Amino acid sequence: MIGNLIDINVNLSRWPFRRLPFDTVPELVKKLRSRGVAQAWAGSFDGLLHRDVGAVNGRLAALCRRDGEGMLIPFGTVNPALPDWEEDLRRCAEDHKMPGIRLHPNYHQYTLDDERFVKLLKLAAERKLIVQIAVLMEDERTQHPLVQVPHVNVAPLVDALKAAPGARVVLLNAHRAVRGKTFLQMIATERIWFDISNLESVGGVGKILDQAPVEKILFGSHAPFFILESALLKLRESDLDETQLKAIAATNAKKLLKG
C-alpha cells in the first residue's frame, strides 16, 4: 500500500442527486486512512447549488475541525457571480484560515474570461491562496436530464493568468475535457497543476508524464463521488519510478501548499 498520500480532491456533505458511499465525514476519513491517505483537501458538494456560500464554507471548516481528525484541509467555495463574493474570499483566508478555494464556473455560470474571475485570481494571488477549478463534477452522460452541466471551457485560463501574476491554479477532474494542444498550453504556463482523478486509459499517469513534468501532476481521487481505490490503482499500474511516485503521491502537493 502506498502511504502518506495527500489527496487534493475530496468532497464533504451530500451529492445532490444520489447517496454516495462514505458521504459522512467519519466514514470518509476512515476510508481515506485505511488506504494510506494522510491529508485530504476538501471542498463541499453544497457549494454547487447553495447560494449562501458563506454558510457552506462555515460548515465545511467546522466539519474539518470537528471530525477531520487533523487530516482534512478545507477549500472553500467562492462564486464571483454572486454579490459580495469578495467577502466570501476574505472569510476563507482570514476567518477560516483556508489555504485555497475551489471554484465551479460551470455550475455558477461564468466563464474564465469573465472580468470577475480575473479579479478573483488577482485577489487569491495576493492572499497566496491556491485556486482549484473543478472542470467537471459528473460525466455529462450520467447527469440528471433537468441539470445538464457542461465541462468548464479552460481555454481562456492562460490569458487570465497573464493578468494575475503569482496565481496558482489546480484543475480537477480535467482529463476528459483538457487534451492535446490545450493541455500542453496549460502546462507551459508553469502555474497550472492537474490531478489524476479522471484519467481513464491503462497506464494513464505514465502517458501524462510523456507530455508534462511530474511536478505538475497531483494525486486526487474525487472521493467519495469516485471510488478511492480507482485513483490508487492509477498509481500502481503505471510504470513510475520511486521519485515520480513520491512526487505525485505527496511531495508536489506539499510544495504547492507551502507556496
Measured distance CA(249)–CA(255) in Å, rounded: 12
Chain segment 195-247, per-residue pLDDT in tens: 999 988 778 899 999 999 999 999 999 999 999 999 999 999 888 999 999 99
Residues 6+ apart with CB under 8 A from 78: 53, 85, 88, 89, 92, 101, 103, 120
Maximum distance among all alpha carbons in the chain? Answer: 48
Residues 6+ apart with CB under 8 A from 216: 187, 192, 193, 194, 252
In our burial notation (b when 16+ CB lie closer than 10 A, e otherwise), range 159-179 reads ebbeebeebbbbbbbbbebbe
Q: If you average pLDDT over residues 132-156, what whole number do you get? A: 95
DSSP state of 219: -
Q: What is the pTM of this model?
A: 0.97
Chain segment 115-128, per-residue pLDDT in tens: 999 999 999 999 99
What domains appear along the chain, each with residue ranges and CATH number?
A: 5-258 (3.20.20.140)
The grid cell for 258 is 507551502
**pLDDT number for residue 1:** 64
How does residue 64 score in pLDDT terms, banded at 50, 70 and 90? very high
Where helices occur in 91-196 by DSSP H, the ranges are 105-108, 115-126, 157-162, 180-188
CA-to-CA dists, residue 213 to 71, 100, 227, angstroms: 27, 23, 26
Residues 6+ apart with CB under 8 A from 170: 8, 100, 130, 131, 132, 133, 192, 193, 194, 195, 218, 256
The alpha carbon of 247 is separated from its chain's Cα centroid by a whole number of angstroms, namely 17
Measured distance CA(198)–CA(85) in Å, rounded: 30
* Cell numbers 469516485: residue: 226
**pLDDT number for residue 2:** 81
Which helix (H) or strand (E) segment holds residue 68: the answer is none
Measured distance CA(134)–CA(131) in Å, rounded: 10
Measured distance CA(135)–CA(238) in Å, rounded: 24
Q: Is the pLDDT of residue 139 over 70?
A: yes
